[in-house]
Amino acid sequence: MHLYPQITRVAKYLPSNIVTNDDLSNIMDTSDEWITSRTGIKERRISQQESTADLATQVGLKLIEGIEIETIDFIIVATMTGDYGTPSTACLVQSNLGADQAFSLDVNAACSGFVFALSTAEKFLSSGKYQRGLVIGAETMSTMLNWEDRSTAVLFGDGAAGVLLENTSKEPRFIDELLRSDGTRGMALFAKKNLNNNPFKSADKETSEGMKMDGKKIFDFALRDVSKNIIELLEKNPDFSKELDYCLAHQANSRILEAISKKTKIANQKFLSNVHFYGNTSAASVPLLLVDEIEKGTLVLGSHQKVIMTGYGAGLTWGSILLKL
C-alpha cells in the first residue's frame, strides 16, 4: 500500500524570559498602548543564554521521544538567525540529538521559512526514498535587532516549534501549494549580519547593524501579494475552500491578519492568532501557532481538519500550503 506524508507529532520550546511592552518602555521611547494598538503584541520571549540551535534541539528532543533515532532520515531547520554561517543549525541539532543517520539542512526564507521547509520535507518523503523527518522553525530574532530602533525592536521575539513528518497516511494530506519569491523587492526588509572586515573589499555604504524595514512596503506586500496567493490557491481547490476550517498565517501583527482576512473574504475567526504572546518569531511563527492550537484542542492531528498554512516575509518570500491534519 502506498503511504503519504502526514504530521504525526508537534512540539515547541520557548525561552523562559518574558519581556512585556512595559519592560521595553523602560529601555526605549515606547509604550504598551503604542505597541498594542499597532501590532496586537503584548509580550515576547527573549533568549538570555540559549542559541537558535539550543531552542531547535529542545523541540527535536520532544519530537523524537520514544523513537529509535536511527529511523530519522532528515532534519530541516527553517531559520534566518543561525548561530553560524556554517555549520548549519540543522547539523548542530543533528549532533545534539545523535541522529547520525539523518541528513541535515537549513532553509532561510525568513518568515516563510517553515512553510518552505515543510514543502521541501514533503517532497523528500513523497519520493519514497525517505520515511521520517523533522521540520523545525527556530529563531533568536533578538540577536539580529538594533535595540535602539523602536520601529523594529518591539516587533520580534525568540522561540522554536516543529513537526515530525512520516509516511503513514493512507490518503494525501498535502493537497496543494503555491510558493513565491521576489528578490527585486528584497531590500524592503533586510538584516546584515556578516562581519565586513575583508581588507580587499571596499567599505559598505550601509554600515549600520540590525534589521531595517520599510513598514509600509511590507504591509502593502502582505495585503496585496499574500492575499492574492491565498485566493489563487483556494480558487484552484474549490472543494477544499468550501470546507476550510482554519488559516495558520505568519504572525507578523494583528493588523496584517485582519487586513488579509478582509481582502480574502475569509472570516476573521478562522485566522488563528497568538501574536499577543510571542510577537513576530519569523520561521517559528507558523509552527508555534500550530502547536498552541493543538494544545488548546482547536486543532487535532488525524482529524482531517482542512487548514491553509501561509508564510510571508523577507526575501521577499511568500507561500501557502493546503493541508489535511
List the catalytic residue out of 91, 229, 250, 253: 250
Considering only CA atoms, which of 112, 156, 109 is closest in space to residue 280?
156
Q: What is the pLDDT of residue 204?
A: 56
Q: Report the distance separating Cα 85 and Cα 43, nearest Å.
A: 30
Tally of CB atoms within 10 A around 176? 15
Assign 100 to helix, strand or coil.
Answer: coil
**In the predicted model, is pLDDT for residue 208 greater than 60?**
no
Q: Give how far Cα 102 sits from Cα of 7, 72, 81, 99, Å.
A: 18, 6, 22, 6
Q: pLDDT tens digits for 38-95?
A: 999 999 999 999 999 999 999 999 999 999 999 999 999 999 999 998 999 999 999 9
Q: What is the pLDDT of residue 198?
A: 47
**In the predicted model, is pLDDT for residue 194 greater than 80?**
no
Q: pLDDT tens digits for 211-261?
A: 888 888 988 998 899 999 999 999 999 999 999 999 999 999 999 999 999
% of the chain at pLDDT higher than 70: 94
Q: Report the distance separating Cα 64 and Cα 131, nearest Å.
A: 14
**In the predicted model, is pLDDT for residue 283 greater than 60?**
yes
Q: What is the pLDDT of residue 169?
A: 97
The pLDDT of 273-288, averaged and rounded, is 97
**Is 304 part of the annotated catalytic residue set?**
no
**In the predicted model, is pLDDT for residue 205 greater than 70?**
no
- Residues belonging to the chain: 325
Q: Average model confidence (pLDDT) for the chain?
A: 93
List the catalytic residue out of 167, 229, 253, 280: 280
Q: What is the pLDDT of residue 184?
A: 92
Q: What is the pLDDT of residue 1?
A: 85
> Are residues 158 and 49 in contact, defined by beta-carbon separation less than 8 angstroms?
no
Q: What is the pLDDT of residue 154?
A: 92
Q: What is the pLDDT of residue 193?
A: 61
Helix axes 227-236, 254-264, angle to 10 degrees: 40
The DSSP H or E segment spanning 44 is strand 43-45
Tally of CB atoms within 10 A around 159? 29
The pLDDT of 22-47, averaged and rounded, is 93
Torsions phi, psi of 130, nearest 5?
A: -130, 150
> Are residues 248 and 291 in contact, defined by beta-carbon separation less than 8 angstroms?
no
Q: Report the distance separating Cα 297 and Cα 133, nearest Å.
A: 24
List the catalytic residue out of 111, 167, 247, 253: 111
Q: What is the pLDDT of residue 54?
A: 98
The pLDDT of 274-284, averaged and rounded, is 97
Q: What is the pLDDT of residue 199?
A: 47
**Does residue 203 or residue 300 have the better pLDDT?**
300
**Is 17 part of the annotated catalytic residue set?**
no
**In the predicted model, is pLDDT for residue 142 greater than 50?**
yes
**Is 96 part of the annotated catalytic residue set?**
no
